[in-house]
Amino acid sequence: MAVSRVYEGHTDYLQVLDKDGVLDKALEPDLPRETLEKMYYYLVLGRLWDRKCIALQRTGRMYTYAPLEGQEAISMGVVFAMKPEDWLIPSYRESFACYLRGVPLETINIGWRGIEEGLKLDKKLRCFPYVIPIGSQLTHAVGGAYAMKMKGEKSAVVVCGGDGATSEGDFHDALNFAGVLNTPTVFVISNNQYAISTPRKWQTKSETIAQKALAYGLTGLQVDGNDILAVYKSVKEAIEAVKAGKPAVLLEMVTYRMGPHTTSDDPKKYRDEKEVAYWLERDPIKRFRIYLKNKGIWNEAFEAKVQADAVKVIEDAVVKAEAFKPDPRNMFRYVYATMTKNLEEQMKECFGDSQ
Amino acid sequence: MKMTMVEAINSCLKQEMERDRSILLMGEDVGVDGGVFRVTEGLYGKFGRDRVIDTPLSESGIIGAAVGMAALGMRPVAEIQFQGFEYNAYHQLVQHASRLRNRTRGMFSVPMVLRLPCSGGIRALEHHSESMETIYAHIPGLKLVYPSSPYDAKGLLAAAIEDADTVLYFEPKRLYRAFREEVPEERYTLELGKANVLKEGSDVTLVSWGAMTHVSKDAVTEAEAQGVSVEQIDLRTIAPCDWDTIAASVKKTGRCVVVHEAVKTVGFGAEVAARIMENAFLSLKAPVKRVTGWDVIIPYPTTEDYFFPDKARILRGIMETARF
């Protein structure tokens, strides 16, 4: 018996705008000027908001926060590629994506201020509350997509995670179930090179994360995650494919977390400055700005207006979020659909008879 | 109609799926094969593979997917082939199913049912015989149902499926085909959180659930023959637990024996005893007695009978408590 090849595969990499903003015209998505302006505005808003959150945390006005800087293009591209009927299941690093999906910014801030109401998201927005555990949301996206199919809705479920999440068993479960049940699911993995301090090469021996799709019969693609046009294009095409009944898609967004994992760690301990400088050159906003400038959309006046508008929105959200006072009794009210007698008694004991 | 517990559960699942199109079944071998215990027999043929899903072999995948389905509007009823393999997905219960309602302040919820064939006595392989309700009772936000008869199994399952929260539905395997009893063919529900007083009595209260309720019945009959009047309570649901019914009974009898198959230490019997201390201390005439599995790894089948509380041990517990 001869040895014969039973499988062969390959994985592609997509980049539309290179680090210097040079465009691959053939791959350019067809986006109207108004959308491009909006994308830039939200990219800037996302960065300013993220820095504001860190400042709030440093001054004791917010609790632990997971910064986004450097990865804004992913949240942006993902949400802009989604339709209203699609569902987003974000990880904690994509709380800004919830805003883009329509959640008020003050709600997001309320969440990072350590208040559950920050995750009380209007169901109509089709945005899940972001999750803190690593990877366990991935299977929800498979079940959620199955539910959409059963209800006869033409919706995709887009779920986000990081490179660390791909080491969890849930990643395997999710890709395997998505393949076997043929669900309209898009997995967006932000490979930001580190899971807290552990580098990507210590998570997996695999050359890419995208290639893992092949083993599950899914479509995999590696994308320049700092290129908003590539992110947008890849997610849009993935959503269209899974809605058409094609296998689920795994997108590896190659990016870099410019800041710490959360406000509780110091990245200087585990990575060197040369590496950070390398990625700074690949900043997602910088290259998109060049692209818009070349299109005659960006100029100094536009920048000034975008910045001013964004600051206003952010400051307004901060004020509203800080004014929000949670009702501590709510810890008892939402454990079950109907409060049990046991909890009624404990609530009374906790707050006295003033209730 | 006389039904076994397996038939009662099957009849319930069929009726519920006919009633509500958002209900679907999923699990390992639940479709074509009808489940390893044949609980879902015939449902694949009736409802098709979209609603009776033979899943890949992964408890974590099953429960994770079910959480997503439930959160987005379906009513999944997932079978975990044996409760002893649920641990692979315990994180889904702690991190998601139990708390989605709370962390979204009521916006999202996970109305799913996990069917968990549990407990011993059927000479099964390792990991197939434990009674682990305690580790789930420790998670706020979950409901735990533990039927002890075909009639209860059907009514409690229907209630579990229509419940708005995640319900863990424990199926004591040794009761699956142990006996038949009259079960209505039409749909009915039994309230979750309400215990069942099987028999009134005046000297000792006996509290149990699952297969132990059945075993305890023989001991109660014997105790009565020896002149001790026993009030027998079957909990039906561990969470929420009907503390009022237990307290009212102990206030009357002044004595209580808790019987469970799970190991003694931190078993749910400890919680029952503590609640009696809180709610009926001044009525107690004897310490609350626990008759339970020993604090050991449950033995392999050949010697497993030494582990379970049996008629003799339960009777001894009742008599010691009555004569204290």
Rounded CA separation A193/A255 (Å): 7
Q: Please name the residue that has the structure tokens 């585990």.
A: A270
Rounded CA separation B12/B10 (Å): 5
Q: Identify residue A335 by its one-letter amino acid code.
A: V
In chain B, the domains with their CATH numbers are: 2-182 (3.40.50.970), 196-322 (3.40.50.920)
Of the CA atoms within 13 Å of residue B172, those in its CB half-sphere come to 28
pLDDT tens sequence across A155-179: 999 999 999 999 999 999 999 999 9
Smallest Cβ distance to B72: which of A133, A147, A176?
A147
Six token digits for residue B136: 């789930």
Are B69 and A116 in contact (CB < 8 Å)? no
Rounded CA separation B145/B189 (Å): 13
Residues of B in contact with A337 (CB under 8 A): 101, 109, 163-165
Rounded CA separation B66/B169 (Å): 15
Q: Looking at chain A, which residue has its C-alpha nearest residue B78? A: A143
Taking the CA of residue A7 and the nearest CA in chain B, the distance in Å comes to: 22
Q: Where are the domains of chain A?
A: 12-262+272-324, 328-355
Are B50 and A177 in contact (CB < 8 Å)? no
Q: Is the pLDDT of residue A355 over 70?
A: no
Taking the CA of residue A165 and the nearest CA in chain B, the distance in Å comes to: 14
Does A176 reach chain B within 8 Å, measured CB to CB? Answer: yes
Residues of B in contact with A140 (CB under 8 A): 64-65, 67-68, 71, 96
Q: Determine contact, residues A110/A103, Cβ cutoff 8 Å.
A: no
Closest alpha carbon to B134 in B268, B235, B270 = B268
Q: Determine contact, residues A282/A256, Cβ cutoff 8 Å.
A: yes
Residue of B91, B96, B127, B128 marked catalytic: B128
Q: Is the pLDDT of residue A348 over 90?
A: yes
Rounded CA separation A86/A145 (Å): 9
Residues of A (71-130) whose Cβ lies below 8 Å from B: 87, 89, 116-117, 119-123, 128-129
Task: State the pLDDT confidence band at A180, using cuts at 50, 70 and 90.
Answer: very high
pLDDT value at position B126? Answer: 94
Q: Determine contact, residues A73/A60, Cβ cutoff 8 Å.
A: no
Does A345 reach chain B within 8 Å, measured CB to CB? Answer: no
Does A285 reach chain B within 8 Å, measured CB to CB? Answer: no
Main-chain phi, psi angles of B161, to 5 degrees: -70, -35
pLDDT tens sequence across A219-250: 999 999 999 999 999 999 999 999 999 999 99
Q: Identify residue B126 by its one-letter amino acid code.
A: E
Q: Is the pLDDT of residue A1 over 80?
A: no
Q: Is the pLDDT of residue A353 over 80?
A: no
Rg (alpha carbons) of chain A, rounded to whole number? 21
Check residue B259 and report its DSSP letter: E
Main-chain phi, psi angles of B112, to 5 degrees: -125, 160
Check residue A207 and report its DSSP letter: S
b (16+ CB within 10 A) / e for B131-145: bbbbebbebbbbbbb
Smallest Cβ distance to A150: which of B50, B101, B141?
B50
Q: What is the DSSP string of B69-81?
A: HHHTT-EEEEEPS
Smallest Cβ distance to B56: which of A131, A138, A177?
A177
Rg (alpha carbons) of chain B, rounded to whole number? 19
Q: Please name the residue that has the structure tokens 């509203």.
A: A320
Does B243 reach chain A within 8 Å, measured CB to CB? Answer: yes
Q: Please name the residue that has the structure tokens 């006869």.
A: A152
What is A12-262+272-324's CATH number? 3.40.50.970
Closest alpha carbon to B121 in B195, B214, B8, B223 = B214
Are A174 and B91 in contact (CB < 8 Å)? no
Let me know if B128 is a catalytic residue.
yes
pLDDT value at position A354? Answer: 53
Does B244 reach chain A within 8 Å, measured CB to CB? Answer: yes
Which helix (DSSP H) or strand (DSSP E) does residue A235 occupy?
Answer: helix A228-243
Please give the ipTM for the structure prediction: 0.96
Rounded CA separation B273/B271 (Å): 5
pLDDT tens sequence across A10-66: 999 999 999 999 999 999 999 999 999 999 999 999 999 999 999 999 999 999 999
Q: Identify residue B247 by its one-letter amino acid code.
A: A
Taking the CA of residue B197 and the nearest CA in chain A, the distance in Å comes to: 19
Mean pLDDT across chain B, nearest whole number? 98
Rounded CA separation B23/B76 (Å): 6
Residue of A47, A101, A200, A257 marked catalytic: A257
Does B70 reach chain A within 8 Å, measured CB to CB? Answer: yes
Q: Looking at chain A, which residue has its C-alpha nearest residue B95? A: A133
